[in-house]
Amino acid sequence: MDADWLDVSASVVEARSHARAIVALETTVIAQGLPWPDNLETARGMEIAVRSVGAAPASVAVVRGRLRIGLADAELFEISRSAATGPGGAAGAGGRDDDRPAEGRGRWAKANRRDLAAVAAAGGCAATTVSATLWAMRRAALVPGVMATGGLGGVHRDAGSSFDVSTDLDELARADGSVVVCSGMKSILDVPATLESLETRGVLVVGYRTDELPGFLTRSAGLRLEHRVDSPAEIARLVRAHRELGLPGAIVLVQPVPEESAMDPAPLDAAMARALEAARRAGIAGKALTPFLLEAVREATEGRSLRANCELLIANARLAGEVATAMVS
């Protein structure tokens, strides 16, 4: 990739040169998914969790027109602080626009793979989704690699009329041999349809110490999984077999939210239904939908969904580090 558009941090370069494990981390959950200051604490917590098991974190974002693989703490702060107020002063981040440094106000977009060139050419700043992060991993030669996130994007509940399907699914089908650690699909989605779409694209979904698909903020979505592993060594062996067989697509490793943070499905479903109806009445769709729904559910659950989301993100980052370390050992 042309060096004019790409920066790889010194820590990631060093880890790669010494064949150390590297874990990529998407950043839309920090810029658009979590409120300030929980987002900064979680971003730092994820990087600490990766380092704690001997791997190098590589948070990914577009920073003033350059695709960055591995962010400095000051950049994590800038991304996180920009969430204090969303576009147009949207509520949900818990801060005021005048609390933020002028340089960061309202500048952090949400970029999937499609948006990267437009943001870079404009010299803009953007947090990366799962699809953009997977693509960046490939372009920076961090593939086959490992990344961590909270919940995958997928088929939205009204996709039959809106055709709203995340680019995460197509990029997962292209990310040959990579591992994506998550806690299932975001609660706002049509989860059975998303799981079916992954199967159609040949993307293997494997439970980590579970036989059921996690429900993102709940321990189970009520869907059985065909494949399971119980240790990082097992998933490393599975990845080696996947590569040596020449199979396409990523492997999605799903881990339930920590039990002490997990939510009960019934109140969560009720809160989500009310949030979806509010979004429909307000005409909110596309990229703005996920942050709107997350904030509405956070308010409806009195912050319990936020705590669960932060805990699962850090747990997934730690597991991703363990898997990445097992893959290079």
Q: Pairing state of beta strands 66-69 and 56-63? A: antiparallel
Q: Please answer whether residues 91 and 114 qualify as being in contact, where contact means their C-beta atoms are separated by less than 8 angstroms.
A: no
Please provide the DSSP assignment of 223-284 as one string: -B-S-EE-SHHHHHHHHHHHHHTT--S-EEEE-PPPGGGPPPHHHHHHHHHHHHHHHHHHT-
Question: Rounded to an integer, what distance in angstroms lies between the CA atom of residue 212 and that of residue 254?
Answer: 9
Question: Rounded to an integer, what distance in angstroms lies between the CA atom of residue 238 and that of residue 102?
Answer: 48
Catalytic residue status for 75: no
From 102, 134, 321, select the one nearest 232 (Cα to Cα).
Answer: 321
Catalytic residue status for 26: yes
Q: What are phi and psi of 186, to 5 degrees?
A: -55, 145
Q: What are phi and psi of 96, to 5 degrees?
A: -110, 150
Q: For residue 328, how many other CB atoms are within 10 A of its CB? A: 15
Kindly calculate the radius of gyration of the chain based on its CA atoms and give it in whole angstroms: 18
Q: Which helix (H) or strand (E) holds 205?
A: strand 204-208
> Which candidate in 26, 295, 311, 322 is catalytic?
26
Tokens of 9: 């941090």
Q: Which residue's entry shows tokens 């363990």?
A: 322
Q: Which residues contact 321 (CB under 8 A, 6 or more apart)?
A: 21, 23, 49, 50, 51, 52, 53, 54, 55, 57, 146
> Which candidate in 47, 78, 110, 186 is catalytic?
186
Torsional sign, CA 139, 141, 143, 147: negative
Which DSSP category does 206 fall into? Answer: E
Q: List active site positions.
A: 26, 186
